[in-house]
Structure 1
Amino acid sequence: MALRREVVVSTALRLLNEVGIDGLSTRRLARELGVQSPALYWHVKSKRELLDLMAEAMMAEALPAGRRPAPHDWTIWLAEDAHAKRRALLAYRDGARVHAGTLPTHNELPAVEAQVRALREAGFHPREALRLLLAIDRFVMGWVSEEQAWLQDAREHAQSPFPDEILEGLPLLTQAADVLRMQDRDADFEYGLQVLIQGFERRLGMNTHDVNRKGDPSDPPP
């Protein structure tokens, strides 16, 4: 039976959970699939392309194809998408590291276009809309990267970070010790996400009449 790209990607994701990104190579993947490396190169030309396809598959599980974001509730679907992406990345070992540095595939660009269109209808210039999407995506990737590193360290050392004795004499950090220890990562993530979205919401309100009168306020002066 001929090797199919979707089988290559699903096998790579399974292998990722077993060996992590550092142990994943095209040679190791070819061996797992029972083929020689040249057969694999018909479907993925490099590890970089493989990671792009793996990242696309992760996001496809989280964000259904064909969704149509609405302009009037852009703050809601941005937050929902961010939470879905975080869950998708956390579902895989080194999920954030796989996604870091990947580029949207040809299949993903229509979904990005739909998001930019919804944000444009909400009042953002397309360039600012794309900046908003990138800022939130990079917040999610950075957050999950730190979160997964934290979780890995906690598993290896099996002890609570920042014990009380370390915080002795530090009253303000003691009051915020639960945040310092990441005891409620969901709440911490939500707080940062909402601050980011509310910042863009405020910017939209401040710049609406300038956008209508002059165009994109983020454009450099002539």
Structure 2
Amino acid sequence: MPQPSRTNRHAIVAATIDLLDEVGLEKVSLHAIAARLGVKQPALYHHFDSKTALMAAVAEEVLDRHHTDRLPNVGEAWDAFVIRNARSLRRAMLSVRDGARLISSAGSRVPKPSNAIAQVELLERDGFDGGTAVLALIAVSRYTIGAALEEQASRSNPSLSDSADSLDGTDDRAARFAEILRDVATAGTAQEFELGLSALVRGLDDHRKKREGNAS
């Protein structure tokens, strides 16, 4: 007998994302997903042979929905694309609760071949050798994932503002440091991410320029 529509792959993945947003990654279970859909847990196995397979599909769906800047535009400079791509990946991970943990643990470690080829070819066109292009893209991806992991984890930890408040009433140096912390907290996590991303891209550009200089 055909399974009811509420247990098709799309419905299961969508229900899992909604559940993830509500309870967090650690509390997502096949039992909870089945209960949310109003079916018995074995019904899920008609579409996914394990929780690992389901979470991989969930990670792919989150990326498909929100990581929309995976390909370079015609004539786009390598650094403009790398920055745009990293912002897109960050946006996808922050779109759902524990999204960075989901992507880092269940997402594909390699881009789709067509995307990867286009990305590497762009960097090669702008002066990177193939191997360094791959390593550069990996470095930016790992920085972006790490920054998102830290950002989502820190939401349950004391904030910079809390740290600043703990310094009130101490000496002048501590008071000045507290003011700096409050300024950083006000600027927000997006500025933290952008500063690190900019520094990483500048470092990659220095490497590219040295290679071009050696080749000339």
Q: TM-score per shorter chain, which class?
A: 0.7 to 0.9
Residues 148 and 63 (structure 1 numbering): CA distance in 2 closer, same or farther, change over 3 Å? closer
Q: Which runs of 5+ in 2 are unaligned?
A: none
Instruction: Indicate which of 85, 90, 93 corresponds to 1:86.
Output: 90
Candidates 141, 147, 153, aligned match of 1:143: 147
Residue 168 of structure 2 is aligned to residue 165 of structure 1: yes
Question: Given the alignment, which residue of 177, 183, 193 partners 2:181?
Answer: 177
Structure 1 counterpart of 2:95, one-letter code: A
- % identical aligned pairs: 26
Equivalent position to 2:127, from 123, 127, 142: 123
- Measured in 1, the distance between the counterparts of 2:146 and 2:110 equals 24
Aligned counterparts of 2:70 and 2:187: Cα–Cα separation in 1 = 36
The Cα offsets for residues 12-55 of structure 1, whole Å up to 9 and x where unpaired, read as: 11110111101101222122223333331232232322222222
How far 1:70 moved relative to its partner? 4.6
Greater helix fraction, Structure 1 or Structure 2: 2
- Seen in structure 2, the aligned counterparts of structure 1 residues 52 and 20 have a Cα distance that, compared at 3 Å, is same
Offset, 1:184: 2.2
Q: Is the 8 A contact 2:59 2:106 kept in 1?
A: yes
Conserved? CA contact 1:68–1:114, under 8 Å: yes
Give yes or no for the alignment of 1:99 onto 2:103: yes
Question: Could you tell me the TM-score, scaled by structure 2's length?
Answer: 0.81
Q: Structure 1: which 5+ runs fail to align?
A: 214-222
After TM superposition, the score normalised by the length of structure 1 is 0.79
Amino acid at match of 1:162: A
What is the alpha-carbon distance in structure 2 between the residues aligned to residue 105 and residue 70 of structure 1? 26
Matches within 5 A, 1:1-222: 1-2=4-5, 3-64=7-68, 67-70=71-74, 72-104=76-108, 108-153=112-157, 160-163=162-165, 164-165=167-168, 168=171, 169-170=173-174, 173-174=177-178, 176-178=180-182, 181=185, 183-208=187-212, 210=214
Structure 2 residue aligned with 1:216: none
Q: Is the 8 A contact 1:55 1:99 kept in 2?
A: yes
Paired residues of 1:69 and 1:115 also in contact (CA < 8 A): no
Moved over 6 A (4+): none
Structure 1, residues 63-103: CA drift from partner, whole Å, max 9, x if none? 33884445641111211121122222222111111111334
